[in-house]
Amino acid sequence: MKSLESINEFVIKFANVNGTGSASANNLFAKALFRMGLPVSPKNIFPSNIQGLPTWYEVRVSEKGYLGRRGGVDIMLSVNPQSMPQDVREVEPGGYFIYDSTKPLDLRLHRKDINIIGIPLTRICNEEYEDPRQRQLFKNVIYVGALAALLDIDFAVLTELVADQFKGKEKLVLPNIHALELGHQYVKANLDCPLGIRVRKSDKVGDKILLDGNTALGLGAIYGGATVAAWYPITPSTSVVDAYERYAKRLRIDPGTGRQNFAIVQAEDELAAIGMVIGAGWNGARAFTATSGPGLSLMSEFLGLAYFAEIPTVLFDVQRAGPSTGMPTRTQQSDVLSAAYASHGDTKQVLLFPSTPRECFDFGALSFDLADRLQTPIILMTDLDLGMNDNMSDPLEWDDERKYDRGKVLTAEDLDNMERFGRYLDVDGDAICYRTYPGTHPEKGAFFTRGTSRDEYAIYTERGEEYEKNMLRLLAKWETIKSYVPRPEIIRSEQQTEMAVLYYGTSEEASREALDYLAADGVHLNAMRVRAFPFNDEVEQFMADHEQVFVIEQNRDAQLRTLLMAEFELGPDKLKSVLCFDGTPISARNIRKQILMHLPGYNVTPLRRERVVGQGE
């Protein structure tokens, strides 16, 4: 058997039981590599359950800077007997399977083509600790110490990290370092180390940060001036409001009075949550809600009201695997269509697709400017992968000169200087009308907001021509919107080509990596990352410029492809789907394989024939 060998390029996966405190130990591991200057991309794969079920933590380590899922596992660290059969199977030939050897490994699990490494974690732990809780917690820390020896991680970086992690709780520092040493010493004394796969200090991290998308969104809402947050708990969006609250309590308390310059209401359901956001937006405050698929479905009626009555509304949708409750703790990009056309009647909603924490922060803050400027719901589409995992990202930045764009709002003075105010009158020719906040002027500017049809002066009408005129103006506004939403990011291949890939959100990293693989295969593709809906002119041009476009997405029904076909009236032949919808983030190998399968002459046999394309591996 030939063992895998690599420095600073590998995938390691931890198989744990949820509720056993493994998360912080696993974080410690990933952060240590990050501090050694190595790009890392950790992903939690966890059940919808509080205690007792299998959970995994997969870390991609890549000095080359590939942050998406590669596919395959080089090192498996298994401390969960429940999932062991599956975990052994996943290891790449030549890879390493590290397990708790306190109990001998079931003979049926042995594989000849991988390295099996036993460390008696439970025994070391039980010999050292009496208290069952300590035994459980420190077992996790011990395996990190063991990995430090196996992979040649700088031990000083680990101890420094522990000190940082327990700042304020200094009593915990030494016991944790001791546990790290227990694992480290055992490996040094009993095993060959380091392994063929190992790490070495590098300088590929620069000023980057490790941050989850939901925290970045919460911060984006703080910086974007949101004062009202209304929400109903749902994974994977909950931590957006948690982060907003945590930072608001630090950064938004009025220094003079101690009062809050924000209001958070935990609503009775998502209908109420979006109703509150709409009420606050109508009344001139910046407001948002965060939810996931089931909540988005419930918000549908209200989203139509906000579209039709033109009320600034911000909604963060952290997508998970549907339909219905689906796989609530797994990732997908499957709310695209239901968000884009949310609500009955002819509606179209503005969508933003961030793909990094930095973009979550930027687009999060931008949402409030766009909502005020465009007077319509802004739905930011992120997902569990981006929202709940630490992602390596450019640092956050804020231009202190920046002013909020509050859009077309009339003051009492404006009203005094005008002939007659018409709430739905297109004065400027951009199809965006002027509005007033309640309470602005004693005599002028009051109007009735409603979801029923009305004329340009907001007076109720059922005259078909008036209704139609208003609906056409909303369509004209849709055109205006195209010039405000973020433009796509286009990457040209080094070689002239008629073929391209199109991706959005969290498919970015794996797609870029797949493009490199494909180039090595001799397949050259241009690439476009779509960042918003409506699609602006650049998107249209790019589609026109290519014969064949592979649309990469994480859902079953090729939802963005459908949207492109509907909006540009493109034929189905031009757009080919590259899909993954098993609830794990799409991987680079999977993308490469699916694209090659579409190309004549590149007959790749799917790894598992019984499964259709679109599965992760």
Q: Which of residues 281-340 bind another protein (CB under 8 A)?
A: 281-285, 287, 301-302, 305
- Which of 302/533 has CB closer to another protein? 302
**Does 163 help bind another protein (rule: CB under 8 A)?**
no
Closest contact distance (angstroms) between CB of 266 and another protein is 10
Q: Which of these segments, 215-223, 478-486, 487-495, 599-607, binds another protein (CB under 8 A)?
A: 215-223
Contact present, 575 and 540 (Cβ < 8 Å): no
Judged by CB under 8 A, the residue of 130, 170, 192, 399 near another protein is 399
Q: Does 228 bind another protein (CB under 8 A)?
A: yes
How far is CA 147 from its chain centroid? 29
Buried b (16+ CB within 10 A) or exposed e, 398-419: eeeeeeeeebbebeeebbeeee
Stretch that binds another protein, among 66-74, 317-325, 396-404, 425-433 (CB under 8 A): 396-404
* Site mask for another protein (CB under 8 A), range 376-395, x = bound: -------------------x
Residue 225 in contact with another protein, rule: CB under 8 A: yes
**Of 3-11, 460-468, 486-494, 600-608, which part binds another protein (CB under 8 A)?**
460-468
- Nearer CB in complex with another protein: 356/559: 356
Q: Indicate the residue among 77 and 161 with the shorter CB distance to another protein.
A: 161
CB closer to another protein, 34 vs 550: 34
Q: Which is nearer to another protein, 115 or 227 (CB)?
A: 227
Applying CB under 8 A, among 116, 265, 298, 418 the residue interacting with another protein is 265
The residue from 127, 397, 569, 610 that contacts another protein (CB under 8 A) is 397
Applying CB under 8 A, which part among 151-159, 203-211, 514-522, 534-542 lies near another protein? Answer: 203-211
**Ranges within 422-451 binding another protein (CB under 8 A):** 436-443, 446-451
Peptide bond into 85 cis (omega under 30): no
What six digits make up the tokens of 51?
Answer: 């205690």
Are 369 and 398 contacting, i.e. CB atoms less than 8 angstroms apart?
no
Angle between helices 213-223 and 357-374 (to 10 degrees): 40
For residues 579 and 221, give the distance between their C-alpha atoms in angstroms, rounded to a whole number.
32
Say if CB 335 and CB 322 are below 8 A apart. yes
Q: Which residue of 170, 268, 573, 610 would you call a contact of another protein, by CB under 8 A? A: 268
CA atoms within 13 A on the CB side of 103: 7
Q: Read off φ and ψ for residue 62, nearest 5 degrees.
A: -150, 105
Q: Would you count residue 230 as binding another protein (CB under 8 A)? A: yes
Contact criterion met (CB below 8 Å) for 322 and 293: yes
Distance CA 477, CA 184 (A): 63
Q: Which C-beta is closer to another protein: that of 263 or that of 337?
A: 263
Nearest distance, CB of residue 378 and another protein, angstroms = 16
Query: Minimal CA–CA distance to 92: which of 607, 603, 591?
Result: 607
SS3 letters across 8-29:
CEEEEEEEEECCCCHHHHHHHH
Tokens of 190: 């009993």
Give 448 or 607: the residue with its C-beta nearer to another protein.
448
